[in-house]
Structures are given as C-alpha cells and as structure tokens.
Structure 1
Amino acid sequence: MNRIDRLYALAEELRAAGPRGRTARQLAARFEVSVRTIERDLSALGQAGVPLATKQGRAGGYSVDRAMSLPPLNFTPREAMAVAVALSHSDHVLFARDSRTALQKIVAAMPQPALDEARTAAAKVRLLVRPVPDPDGEIAELIWRAVRDDQVLRIAYTDVGGIETVREVEPQHVVVGPNGSYLTAWCHLRQEERVFRMDRITKAERTAALPQRPPASRRLQVDGFETRLPEAALHPEDLSPTPT
C-alpha cells in the first residue's frame, strides 16, 4: 500500500473506531508499518485539515470526528473485487437495486488503473447460480417495511399442501437463503414463532395492532441451515484489534 492509499485508509480506520480511537501501536500493527511511520502519517493528516483528537494516558490514542467529510474512499483492487463478489449474491428483489447502485458508487470512486485490476481479478471468479422462487415485489417491500418498523401484518399464506390461511403475524426477520427467501414472525394463530416462505405469501396488509411478541430466538434455523446476521459488518470497530 502506498502512502497516499494508507493516509486515506488511516483516516477511515480512525473514523470507524469512533470515540474509542486507536493507539499508534494498534495502527502500526494494522497497516504493518512502524509506529514512527504512523506518527508521521498522523501529522500529515493533521496538517491536511483532518480534525484529529488525542487522548493522553494509558488508554489514550487518536480519534477523528465520524461526521467529517472525507475524500472519496480509495478501494484497493482486491477490496473492490471482494465487494463485487459479495454484492453479486444480492439479487434478491429487496436488495438488487441497492446492490447495483452501491457497486456504481465504488466504481465511480476508483482510479482507472485500480478499477482495471479489480475487473481483471473479478473475471477469474465465477458464482454458482441456483434459481429460487422470487416473492412478489410489492408484497416483499411491504413485508420489509413491517420488519423494519415493527408493524403487525395480516397475511394470506398458502402452505406446501396448497391450503391457504389468513393470519396476523408480527414480523421479526427477512431470511435470504439458498432455497428462497422467508419471513420469520410471531404468529397469532399458532402462538409461536413460525417461518413463512415469502413466495407463498399471496396477500399482505398492515394492521393497527401493536406488536406484543416475545423476543425473537437468538439462534434460528431455516430449511436446516443456521442463520447469521450481517449486522456485524456495519460495526467495523468491533472487528478491529482490541486495545493493548
């Protein structure tokens, strides 16, 4: 990584760390350079106008305002390739458009040589495509909003035997898996957590009822698969080295 790339990455690392900040030793280990090099880089960032704050003492370190305006993110070719591979899996009706626009922003921010290298690397990767039934787009969007906003839904659901029931449910999670997409919800009819195939939900409407469900199960299996939450990817400070 050249110095310019490292300065951009250093500013992003500090911004992601939030108020806890990072010590020079942690940053040196993260970027595989000496503490002296990191201190010079931090000095350069300060001279360039990046609002660095320092905290003295044993738990001291450097931090930066998360709300500051930064230059365009400088993705390395491998980072861009990794994001392209990950987002290429996101062809679900709920996320396909946002995945495309996210990739467009990444491509627009990259210098042409780095973009060319990322495209060459990505051309060496293929993804297995497994066709799965898509839910109705309008119903899927209504379900997503109910999950997001903790709203109670009345749904018409056709089970695997072709029997349709109408029930009120309190949505918990949208599950995207290899066999399709699902809604996990507290079902008023069965008085328990249930999993519904989204493509079998033929109607959905919001109700005025207030959610009263118990907390969702921490561990959940759907179609025999363990589920996981991508939420952790939005907390990069929790994935970074712990203070020493």
Structure 2
Amino acid sequence: MRKLMLLSIITLVLVSCQNDKYHKISGKVTDFNGHPLDSVTIRLKNKAFENMYETLSDEEGNYELTVKEDDYYCLYAIKLSEYRVNKLEYWTWNVPVYKDIIINPQYDRLEIYGINVFEPQVTPQETYMVYIRPMSLTKTLQFASEQKLNTEAFKSAKQAEELLNHSDKLINISPDRVFSEELEININGIKSEVLEIHKITEYARGFKMNGFIIQILKPDDSQNTDLKYDFISVKLHSKELNEIGKGEAFVRRIK
C-alpha cells in the first residue's frame, strides 16, 4: 500500500512537471553609450527576494534565461565587482513571464530603485503615477564616509540601513531635486510627457528615504495595442550629481 501511494505521488509530480510551461527572458546589457557589458550578473527574484534564476552576460552583453511561466517580483543586473565601487544596479519590477520577453538592462552610478506605478481614479484614465526612489553612488559614498565605515562593512551590507548608526533616521542618498528635463519616461517604447513631480519621504524598516512621485501622460500611440501590460521605462540624468540611471516596470492594464 505504501509503495502504491509513493508511486502515485511520483506520477503526479512527473505529470505536473510535464505540464509546466517555460519561456525565455533575453536581452543585451549595455552602458548608456550603447557599449556591451560582459560578465554582468542577471538574477530573477521572487517577492521574498530569493534568486530563482541567474545567468551572466556574454562578451557582446547578451544574456538569456529560460524560466517557468509565472509572475516574478524583479529582475536585476550588475557586475558584482563594480557594485558600490563605481556603479549601482539596474532593476525591472513586476515581471510577468507568460511569453518570451526582452529586457535590456542599462546601469551606471544612479540606481532607479523601487518603481511602483498606479492609475489615478479619474476619468479618462490618461495618466500614470510613477513612484521612484533614485539612489546616487556619489551620495552613497559620501554617506559611508560620514558614517566612518570600513570598506568591508560597506561592501557587505545588504541593505542601506545596515550602514546607519542608531542616531540617524534619514538615509539621504537621493538627488535633492528632480526636474522634468532630466527625465525620459517611455510607455511601450513611446515617450511620455511629465506632468508633475513631487518629492516625498518614505518609511523603510525604521528609517526614512527620499523618493519622487511623477505623474505622466499616456501617449496615444502607446495605447493602440492589445497588450495586457504596459512596460514603463524611467531614465534619469541628474544634473545635480552628473549621474545617470535607468529602471523599468511592468504594470497590468485595467480594462
């Protein structure tokens, strides 16, 4: 009886595996001059921030992941030897893998982190509110110096708040201001107009960080499609810091 039950369980697992669907995430990692970046680590994560899939870009900057059909929390890219040395990271959020998709990471000294997108409850639904938390390498290095951190402690800290002493509450590593002319925001590859920019303070694990809510107008051409998701790309070139970064996110369309 026990052998029969075990055989039944194995059979169910095998049938389940055979029914799983897999798709490819692929793309090319480049700098902001279009030069390919090799040996960049690309990781696909779940909401617990566990690495589900991982690969490296080749000499031409190309990468490919074959992953199980599902919703994933984020994809990130960085050459690990560069992190917090001369570069920060690239992120794409809310990755829906139900067909083959292309994501082309770009990164430099400005990390566009924590992108969230929502649609205001106003008709017609012609705008998105896009939240970003930009993080500057220049200000991060300055912050580490002010905290009198040794190099190893700085490189090994997984979260920025691990670097703080308990007397500090604000992790001030964002640009002080963001202007519309510094932003390039595309929806499905089509440039969107920036309408409003508001700086806010975000609570995070006992500390505070600065972020920005940006209202953008949906281009008419970006809506003439049967896509279930909009792909929003945010590039910021901070004149204040002379740093550039890009982050992206998928947002499910509300029909």
- Under a length normalisation based on structure 1, what TM-score does the superposition of the two structures give? 0.22
Which has the bigger relative contact order, CA under 8 A and spacing at least 6? 2
* Higher relative strand content: 2
- Under a length normalisation based on structure 2, what TM-score does the superposition of the two structures give? 0.22
